[in-house]
């Protein structure tokens, strides 16, 4: 199995964490879709990472689909519940967390546009999404250990990745001060080997 990824992509990190949690062997192929010599569009017409090439040669994208595929391999721990409705609830947590990540990525790209093309209004709009998303995650977690049930699931990984991405790209955002209910959760997941081993390089 091969994973095409960039080391700073939060979506690719989500998949690398799942692979680490399940101890699934894979080859990491570093490929940034922003580089001229990227091979990503040959495998994913959308030109985005992560892309997973299964041992059968079948290709999967985007990250929620790859996560679903990895679950079919049956390696423990299960990161989606067997019950279909409970699995949708985990997917809802994942979608909310990925949405926070999407807003952070959009805000970052906007902030990197040249002077005169950059929209402060758009950046503020994306930051509002981040803030509302985190407030909702904080409300849903309440004082529990995990977002869905009694064990770490795919949604928990996606939330940890979103918070880690905010630390990387928006340290000024002070999500810990604004959403303190998420701090114990973040400390718990950030300490896991799978998170430590996939920390993005600065820059």
Ligand X SMILES: N[C@@H](CCC(=O)N[C@@H](CS)C(=O)NCC(=O)O)C(=O)O
Binding site for ligand X (CB under 6 A): 9-11, 33, 47-50, 62-63, 98, 105
Tell me whether residue 88 or residue 180 sits nearer to ligand X (CB atom): 88
Nearer to ligand X, 20 or 105 (CB): 105
The answer to whether 120 touches 174, Cβ cutoff 8 Å, is no
CA distance 107 to 176: 19
Q: How far is CA 146 from the centre of its chain?
A: 16
3-state secondary structure 124-141: HHHHHHHHHHHHHHHHHH
Q: Which residue is nearest to ligand X (CB)?
A: 62
CB nearer to ligand X: pick between 62 and 122: 62
Write the CB contacts of 106 (distance below 8 Å, at least 6 apart in sequence). 122, 126
| Surface-to-core class of residue 134, CB atoms within 10 Å of its CB (0-12 exposed, 13-18 middle, 19+ buried) | buried
Comparing CB distances to ligand X, the nearer of 137 and 168 is 168
Instruction: Tell me the closest approach of the beta carbon of residue 120 to ligand X, in angstroms.
Output: 22
Closest CB to ligand X among residues 35, 83: 35
Q: How far is the CB of 12 from ligand X (least distance, A)?
A: 7
Residue 97: both structure tokens together:
């967390």
Q: Which residue number, 47 or 180, has a Cβ lying nearer to ligand X?
A: 47
Nearest approach in angstroms of CB 165 to ligand X is 9
What is the smallest separation between the CB atom of 18 and ligand X, expressed in angstroms?
12
Least distance (Å) from ligand X to the CB of residue 49? 4
Q: How far apart are CA 69 and CA 166, in angstroms?
A: 27
Query: Token digits for 174?
Result: 């002070």
**Cβ 38 to ligand X, closest distance in Å?**
9
Instruction: Estimate the share of the chain in helix, then strand, then coil, as percent rounded to the nearest 5.
Output: 55, 5, 35
């Amino acid at each position: 199995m091969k994973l095409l990824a960039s080391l700073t992509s939060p979506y690719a990190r989500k998949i690398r964490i799942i692979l680490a949690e399940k101890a699934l062997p894979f080859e990491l192929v570093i490929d940034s879709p922003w580089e001229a010599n990227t091979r990503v569009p040959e495998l994913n017409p959308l030109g985005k990472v992560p892309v997973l090439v299964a041992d059968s040669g079948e290709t999967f994208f985007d990250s929620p689909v790859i996560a679903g595929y990895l679950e079919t391999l049956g390696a423990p721990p299960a990161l989606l519940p067997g019950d279909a409705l409970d699995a949708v609830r985990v997917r809802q947590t994942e979608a909310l967390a990925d949405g926070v990540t999407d807003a952070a990525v959009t805000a970052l790209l906007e902030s990197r546009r040249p002077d005169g093309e950059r929209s402060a209004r758009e950046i503020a709009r994306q930051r509002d999404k981040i803030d509302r998303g985190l407030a909702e995650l904080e409300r849903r977690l309440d004082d529990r250990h995990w977002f869905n049930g009694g064990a770490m699931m795919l949604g928990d990984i996606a939330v940890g990745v979103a918070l880690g991405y905010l630390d990387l790209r928006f340290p000024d955002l002070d999500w810990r001060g604004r959403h303190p209910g998420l701090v114990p959760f973040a400390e718990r997941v950030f300490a896991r080997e799978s998170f430590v081993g996939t920390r993005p390089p600065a820059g």
